[in-house]
Amino acid sequence: KMTLKEKIGQLYQSAYFSDVVTGHERDTSQTLEGIRNGQVGSILSVHKEEVLYQLQKTAVEESRLGIPLLFCFDVIHGYKTAFPINLALSSTWDPDLIERVSKAVAYETSHAGLHLTFSPMVDIVRDPRWGRVMESNGEDPYLSSVLAKAYVRGYEQKDLSHPHAVAACVKHFAGYGFVEAGKEYNTVDISERVFRNIVLPPFQAAIDENVSMVMTAFNVLFDRPATASTFLLKDILRQEMAYQGITISDYTSTEEVINHKVAKDERDAAKQCFNAGLDHEMVSTTYKDHLEALVKTNEVSIKDIDRAAGRILALKKALGLFKNPYRNFYENSEQYMLQDDTKALALEASEKSMVLLKNDAVLPIMSTKKVGLVGPFIKNQDVIGEWNALAEKSDVISIKEAFDQGDYNTVYVDDDNLDRLSECDVVIMALGEAGNEAGEGNSKVDLHLPNHQQALFDRVRKVNANVVLIVFAGRPLIMTHYDDHASAILYSYQPGTMAGRAIYNLISGTSSPRGKLTMTFPRHQGQIPIYYNHYSTGRPLNPDKPNYRYNSRYRDCSDAPLYPFGFGLTYGEFTYADLILDKETLKDEDAVSVSVKVKNTGPMKATETVQCYIEALTYSVSRPVNELKAFKQITLEPAEEASVTFRLTLQDFRSYNVDMVYTAENQSYKVKVGSASNTTNSVILNVIDAIH
C-alpha cells in the first residue's frame, strides 16, 4: 500500500529540536508536516511525554497509512536513575549484574514512552585519551562479548512486546575504538587480523542475542567510511555475521562521507551509503532528498528500498506499536522512576564497579576512628558522567551526605582550613574530573588530575599523611603521583545516583571492594596506547637487565603499566595453587578442564574474579602475549579454600593464521590462571586442530 515516498520516509530519523549537533535545524512545523506525509520513520532524542504523545498522534491519526513512529534515545547507563558509567560497570566482571541493570534501565526508559536505546557500545578501546572509553566495556574482546550479550538480554528481555522492554542498538560498526591519537571522529587503520580477532567478536555476540539494530561508525576503516562500506555492511555484517536487523547511521555520518572525500555531493552520498547496505539515516536528509530520484534512474533498487523499509516496519511490529502505538504513555510517568528497588540495584552496581587500586592496611576504617573529609568532590554531585539521559545531579548522594548519615565522627574542612585534619585518624580526600570531561567530543591529551587538585593533595598529606583518595573519572587517569603518596586509592569512576552511599559502604567495610580494571592504567601518558593483549617484540625487555639499551623499553619510564588489566584489590588476600590440566593434549571436539585452588588468606570475606588466559608459544603469525578466555567469581570467608574449574575448547585457542584460516594450528600454549593479566601462574597445553 505504500508509495515510494512513504517507504523512503521509513528510512529517515528526524531530530525534533533546534539544538542539534551538526546543523539541520528544522522547526516543529516542518517535522510535523513530514510526519503527516508519511516521510518520518523514527524520532531522535525527544523525551517529553506530551511531545511524544502529540508526535505519535500525528503519525497515527493524520498520516495516510497511520504507521506509528519509533522513538529513540541515548540511554547509556540509566534513564532517571543513574547507574555507573559503562566502563565502570564492566569493572564488575558480572554479566548477571549487567543484565539486571539493563533490565532496570529498560523499565524506566520504556515507561517514559521510548522504544529504543542506542546501547550497548562494544567498541574495543585502548587509548584513554578518547573520551568515549567511558561508554565501553574496555580493551578485551572476550569480556566485551560476554557483557554485550548481557546488555541485549536486559534491554530486550527476549520479547520486545514486553511492556518493560526496549530495543537495543549495538554500536559502532566498526573499529571506532581505534581512532588514531585518541582523537574523536579520527581515522582508523588496523589490520584485517585485528579487525577479525579483536573488533568483531562483541558485535557477533550482540547479533547472536538478536540485537535489533546496528549503528555504523563515524570513522574510515580499510580506506572507506564505515557508513558507506559494502565490505562492512554487506560482506561482513549481512553475509558472514548473518545479521537480519536494521542498520542505522550515526548522527549525520551519511553526509559526512563527503568530508571523507569519497562522495562528491549529498546525492552521491545517499547512493553510496544505501547501496552499501545502510537502512536508516539519522538526522541528515540525503535519503529523504535523493533516494526517490535514484530509484527512478535505476541507481538504487526498489527491492532494496522495500527490504530496508520492511526491516523498520518489522521492528515496530515486534514492539507492538501497530497494536498499541501509545504504549507506556502516562499522565505521570514519575511513578516508575527512581523506585527503591532501582536505587538499591544502582547502589549494588556502584559498590561492585569501584576498583581498589591501593591499600596500605588503612581500609576498611573502623567506626571508632575520627575521619576528615576534604576535596572538591566531597560535596560535589557531578559524578553521573556523560550520556546521563534524564538523571539529575540533585538526586545524587554525595560523600558528605553519606558520612553525615553514618556512624563516624567526621570533620569536614575546606581548602583554607586544612589544619583541622591533623586531629583526624584518617583523611578521606575526593578528587576527579567533572562529569562532562569524558564522553563524546571530549578527547584529552593531558590525563592528569588538574594541577590545583594535586597541589591540594600535597598540602593535605603534609598535614596528615594517612590519606584515602577517592577518584571520580570517566577514563583511566595518570595516578602515579598518588600511588606513590596516598595510603589507599579507591577508583570510583563516575558511579551515578548512589555514589556517596556506595563509597561509605566500601570505606566502612559494610561491603568489600571487588572491581577489576578493564583498561590498563599507564604510569605515564607517553606510554599510550598501552594494553595487555599486545604482541611480543623481537627484543622484549629483560627484567634482569632493566638498563640494557638495545631492547624494547623506555629510557625514562618503566615499561610496565601502573595497574594492569584485570587488577583490583579486595579486603581479602587470595593465593593460587595447584594449577592442573586434566589432559596434556587438546584435539577434535574435546575440551580441557583447567582447575586451580584459590584460598582467602586475608582477614575478611571477599569476592575474587579468577581469570584464565592463554598464550601461544609459537604460531604462524604473532599473537598477543595474553588472551582472556574465561573468568569466574567466587566469594570466600577468611581461611576458606575453593577449587575453580574452567572448560576450554579448540574454539578458545583459534585465531586467524598466516593464511587467514581460523585455527589453533598444531601448537603449544601456556594456560594461565590468576587475579590479573600479569599472572605468571601457568601450565603447558598441546593443541591439535584439524582445521589448519
Residue 608 burial (10 A CB sphere; 0-12, 13-18, 19+): buried
Specify which residues 70 forms β-bridges with: 42
498 phi/psi in degrees, rounded to 5? -100, 25
The three grid cell numbers given for residue 40, joined into one nine-digit string: 518520518
Residue 509 burial (10 A CB sphere; 0-12, 13-18, 19+): middle
The three grid cell numbers given for residue 356, joined into one nine-digit string: 581498589
Residue 577 burial (10 A CB sphere; 0-12, 13-18, 19+): exposed
How many other CB atoms are there within 10 angstroms of residue 331's CB atom? 8
Distances (CA, A) of 549 to 536, 544, 553: 18, 13, 8
- Give the chain's count of helices (H) and strands (E): 17, 26
Pairwise CA distance, residues 405 & 336, whole Å: 27
Residue 143 burial (10 A CB sphere; 0-12, 13-18, 19+): buried
What is the DSSP pairing of strand 488-491 with strand 355-359? antiparallel
Specify which residues 121 forms β-bridges with: 171
Round to the nearest angstrom and report the end-to-end CA distance of the chain: 52
Please identify which of the residues 94, 123, 127, 250 carries the catalytic annotation: 250
Pairwise CA distance, residues 153 & 168, whole Å: 9
Nearby residues of 17 by Cβ (< 8 Å), 6 or more positions away: 45, 46
Specify which residues 13 forms β-bridges with: 42, 282
Among 138, 228, 134, smallest CA distance to 495 is for: 134
Quote the DSSP letter at residue 483. Answer: H
- Measured at the CA of 502, the angle between CA 500 and CA 506, to 5 degrees, comes to 115
HSE of 95, CA atoms in CB hemisphere, 13 A = 14
The three grid cell numbers given for residue 320, joined into one nine-digit string: 507492538
Pairwise CA distance, residues 566 & 523, whole Å: 16
Sign of CA dihedral 41, 46, 47, 49: negative
Distances (CA, A) of 59 to 4, 12, 56: 17, 14, 5
Q: Is 458 helix (H, G, I), strand (E, B) or coil?
A: helix
Alpha-carbon radius of gyration of the chain: 26
Quickly tell me which residue has 533498487 as its cell: 301
590 assigned to active site: no
Quote the DSSP letter at residue 197. Answer: I
Among 460, 390, 458, smallest CA distance to 420 is for: 460
Pairwise CA distance, residues 83 & 77, whole Å: 5
Among 577, 578, 645, 569, smallest CA distance to 607 is for: 569
Contact 494, 473 (CB under 8 A): yes
Residues with a known catalytic role: 250
